[in-house]
Amino acid sequence: MPRKVKYGVDFDIDEEDDDDVWTDYSDNESNVQVEVEENENIFSADEYTKAGVWRCSICTFDNDEGVVACDICGVFRHPMVNIHSNGNKETVPSKFNAYPLDDFVSSSNHLSTVTLKDSIEDSSSSEVVRNRKKLNVILKTTELESSFLELEEAGPLSICESTCSSAIEAKSENVMCTLAKQSLGADSECSKNQIKAETATRRSQYRPEKWMNGNREGTLMQLNLAIVGHVDSGKSTLSGRLLNLLGRISEKEMRKFEKEAKSKGKGSFAYAWALDESAEERERGITMTVAVAYFYSKKYHVVILDSPGHRDFVPNMINGANQADAAILVIDASVGAFEAGIDGNRGQTREHAQLIRSFGVDQVIVAINKMDVVEYSKERFDSIKGQLGTFLRGCGFRDSCLTWVPISAMENQNLVTAASDVRLLSWYKGPFLLDAVDSLQPPVRDVSKPLIMPICDVIKSRSVGQVAASGKVEAGALQCGLKVLVMPSGDLATVRSLERDSQPCDITKAGDNVVVCLQGIDVSHVMAGGVLCHPDFPVAVATHLELKVLMLDVAVPVLVGSQMEFHIHHSKEAARVVKILSLLDSKTGKVSKKAPRCLTTKQSALIEVMLDGAVCVEEFANCRALGRVFLRAYGKTAAVGIVTRVI
């Protein structure tokens, strides 16, 4: 669970500090002289029932020998005695009958708090008397013990008065400053801004260690490539075909897949079965979870994120494909299939394009698949390019970042080599698919920032005290033996081992998809949707957020109180819109209307949401990976946005 920290005058700390005890003195009559009763016989014989302990005369609790006041009721072991001018002795009242609780002052330590008010003779200075009556002085047990020894040795009032006066004068300034700083209601907003500024300063002053900046020799830069598109557009078949052509799947394995697919009456699914491994996926003929595989091109170490296209599994697509640096948008060129994918109501081509743009992906290869079905028609290719291009530009993609490639995954046309079919060669002179992948610009990696790794999946180990977490390192670097903070539990763990592409390694950097084996932490405290981060820079854990959102194609307007599905990195929570702050101009970003009643299609707005459960989150300006959000309702993505403030 998240650490809970309280600030203020009522804050308690651990029970380890119970040895520090606070004491209460009372105002007494004038002409008072205080001294300690030296006669040990005033205590009952049953006080010392055990060696090293003494029994309280009020609550009969057995206290340690070194404690001068009872841990339970606060009564002194050696009671103070007032000696009046007439020679009569009077015991100082205990805290049970001296003053009401309002006279007690709370401290930030786990100690019983008391008020020190000493009464002295009327002949003493009136200024000292007033100061003593107004000032609440906090003394620890060690200071009290030394005061008792001085009282016992001195005896006269002058010694006691000088001791108390010096304590008051020495403590007054520090005590008042401490109480002022601990006031709950003082400058709360200023404190928040100060903490925020200090955090930003510490982040800016962070410097990576030398081992983080070293280059890995003989390794290619990793490129996370999401394969997205409408259901049955051929995404898994394309991925399997690429893996087979590039040697990641052997011919023996392919013959096995072909035999199994034919036995189920699905011979055309053989390449797809290389990634759709579960029995349910093969039975239904659709991808249900994001499959991960990799291959090498001339320029990149490419990690494929084969995403589900069915509308029921868009949440799985969000959780997996948000790690992407670039994307291949697969389009079915057959008549009717493209139109179904681009349809505003049920087409996943539109939704997937909007989602990958909200992931921060700005480089897209549009692979128009199944060109063999339309006889490699240039007219069909141009028609699809014209309609889809207009929509993609509306999503924020630039023409310079879009690459259009006609392919046929089943017939191996224009994949890893130039097309061999003359019908395609007659009009297409552009790059083949693998060449288009190499033409993508390398992504920027935040190695110089503190570690952030959202946890995508958790693999429980049979070894006691060990658990493995997989995900993409978004910032910083990891190495074996490093201490990491696991959020939201707030527990520290040690990196026991690292795996990259199923191969052990010593160091991983930002951009790598890795499996991190942790030790020294409870297995239940590591969960999907959590984050591994630098111990000195923990990520925020919150349930109340301010978002800047862009509404997509929504059938029902969003109102205050609307229930939504909230997605952020690999976490999903139920959410409720608690406030619609303002509408924003889509071009300038300035406020165009305050407190609108509802939000409709294509509107930008600033809203507040309340989550049912806490999530690891950061403001988008501090960490983009932990600051992108998606709101879904009625089985569709209703809005995409960013976190502007963690409330």
Per-residue pLDDT tens for 132-147? 444 343 333 344 344 4
What does the alpha-carbon distance between residue 519 and residue 491 come to, in Å, rounded to a whole number? 11
**Which ranges in 268-327 belong to alpha helices (H)?**
279-284, 314-321
C-alpha 336/C-alpha 599 separation (Å) is: 33
Rounded distance between C-alpha atoms, residue 382 and residue 26, angstroms: 94
- Please tell me the distance from the alpha carbon of residue 169 to that of residue 175, in angstroms, as a whole number: 10
Distances (CA, A) of 517 to 465, 475, 483, 506: 10, 18, 12, 12
Residue 162 backbone phi and psi in degrees, to 5 = -65, -35
Q: Which residues pair with 365 in a beta bridge?
A: 328, 403
Peptide bond into 488 cis (omega under 30): yes
Structure tokens at 480: 């074996």
Q: Which two tokens stand for residue 644?
A: 């502007």
CB 456 within 8 A of CB 529: no
The CA distance from 419 to 423, in Å, is 9
Asked if 362 contacts 398 with a C-beta cutoff of 8 angstroms, the reply is: yes
Where b means 16+ CB within 10 Å and e means fewer, 47-81 reads beeeeeebbbbeeeebbeeebbbbbebbbbbbebe
- The pLDDT tens digits of the residues spanning 605-626 come to 999 999 999 999 999 998 899 9
- Contact yes or no for 303/328 (Cβ under 8 A): no
Q: Which helix (H) or strand (E) holds 98?
A: none
The rounded distance, in Å, linking the Cα atoms of 223 and 444 is 11
| Buried/exposed code over 524-542 (b: 16+ C-beta within 10 A; e: otherwise) | ebbbbbbbbbbeebbbbbb
- The radius of gyration computed from the CA coordinates of the chain, to the nearest angstrom, equals 36
| φ and ψ of 263, to 5 deg | -65, -25
Report the pLDDT value the prediction gives residue 209, as an integer from 0 to 100.
77
Structural domains of the chain, with CATH: 221-439 (3.40.50.300), 452-533 (2.40.30.10), 541-646 (2.40.30.10)
- Taking the chain (647 residues) in runs of 10, the rounded mean pLDDT of each run is 37 39 38 39 43 77 77 68 48 41 36 36 41 39 42 40 40 40 46 58 69 69 92 92 91 90 85 86 87 91 91 87 92 92 82 91 95 94 94 92 94 93 93 95 86 90 77 92 93 92 87 91 90 92 95 90 93 94 90 92 94 94 92 91 93
Cross-strand partners of 484: 493
Give the model's pLDDT for residue 203: 64
Residue 274 is predicted with a pLDDT of 86
Give pLDDT, residue 102: 38
Which residues does residue 323 pair with via DSSP β-bridges, in sequence order? none
- Which residues are within 8 A (CB) of 470 and not within 5 positions of it... i.e. 6 or more apart? 455, 456, 457, 458, 459, 513, 514, 515, 516
Going by C-alpha positions, the residue among 372, 409, 407, 365 that lies closest to residue 274 is 409
Which residue, chain included where needed, has tokens 């340690």? 64
> Please, are residues 447 and 208 in contact by the beta-carbon 8 Å criterion?
yes
